[in-house]
Amino acid sequence: MHEIGGVPRYEDFPDPVAGDDEVIIDVKAVAVETVDKRIAAGTHYASGQYTAQLPAIPAFDGIGALPDGTLVGFGNPRRPYGALAEKTVVPKGSYLPIAEGVDPAIATVLGTAITGMSIKTAGGFVPGETVLVQGATGVAGRLAVKVARLLGAGRIVATGRDDDQLREVRTLGADEVINTAVPDEALAQAYLDVKGDGYDIVLDFLWGRPTEILLRSLVPESFAFPKPTRLIQIGESAGAGLTLAAESLRTSGVEIYGAAKGLGPQTMQEVYGQVVAWAQAGELTFDVVRVALSDIEAAWQRTDLRGSRLVVVL
């Protein structure tokens, strides 16, 4: 990538040379995610860290092989080297072994499924509870629906802006779906119509307008002892901010947590192990579109993935 906001080009770049306490990684697969594109566009808070030196190679994690052939998930390449290359260089220890038998392309998206596990790690999910997935038609949202079902959710409600994709989400395990591309009052009523006994956990990839309307809809019409609703904040695809009325917290029973709540070395190991076990057993499936590194310029600009993750394979 030669300029901020530009599209990566497939071309020769000097091979990395490992310094002290560094190791060369032979890259096998890299998932191209929204965060990678936002960093490249200069719109992510960490863009300056990754684009200070240009030209630079995009993406900051992937799957690759150590010099001894061990397959690992790696991160934190030394700038200007990134993951989208045949070789990259990372600090020693900035990698973990990949479970035997896991396809490298699938291994790139295992971490996306871990966001769905935050209903347990951050929200204290109990089997049988009702889960609302805000923004369920994207890659992470679809996986969250699958994870909630595998964890034993009693009911799953999913939101999105496209009726065709919402029908697909139903086949993944959602019991009810809500199209958020409707007027505010209609959306508020839709949240009320399908909430049943209430939403126990909200996994929020949207924020912005839809979540503001959701929170407003949860305010009771009369004095009552509210049922707690734990909202796990993950993404902001519908907006970085919202107006939060005091009564939305004071009387609704809403509790808001960040997705990192409850995460630590032990819990990360536990949830990663669970996701790997589901994948190895075929219980959790991943939709990926594989492309060659040489096709990165066209692949980077694709808009037809419809809930599948773009994975560059080498």
pTM: 0.88
Dihedral pair phi/psi, residue 250, rounded to 5°? -70, -35
What does DSSP assign to residue 36? H
Q: How far apart are CA 176 and CA 64, in angstroms?
A: 40
Q: Please report the pLDDT score of residue 252 as a whole number.
A: 83
User: What digits encode the pLDDT tens for the residues 71-84?
Assistant: 999 999 999 999 99
Q: What percent of the chain has pLDDT over 70?
A: 99
Q: Please report the pLDDT score of residue 261 as a whole number.
A: 95
Mean pLDDT, each 10-residue run in order, the chain (314 residues): 93 96 98 89 82 90 96 94 97 91 92 93 97 96 97 98 96 97 97 95 98 94 80 94 89 92 90 92 94 97 91 96
- Strand ranges, E, within 46-144: 61-65, 71-75, 87-91, 95-97, 130-134
Closest CA to 253 of 200, 213, 184, 211: 200
Q: Can you list the pairs that 219-227 forms with residues at least 24 positions away whose Cβ atoms lie under 8 Å?
A: 219/245, 219/247, 219/248, 219/251, 219/252, 220/251, 220/252, 223/251, 226/251, 226/252, 226/253, 227/197, 227/198, 227/200, 227/253
Q: Please report the pLDDT score of residue 119 as a whole number.
A: 96
Q: CA-CA distances (angstroms) from residue 234 to 82, 92, 134, 160, 257?
A: 25, 30, 10, 15, 9
Residues near 50 by Cβ (< 8 Å), separated by ≥ 6? 39, 56, 58, 60, 79, 82
User: What digits encode the pLDDT tens for the residues 178-193?
Assistant: 999 999 999 999 999 9
Q: How far apart are CA 247 and CA 231, in angstroms?
A: 16
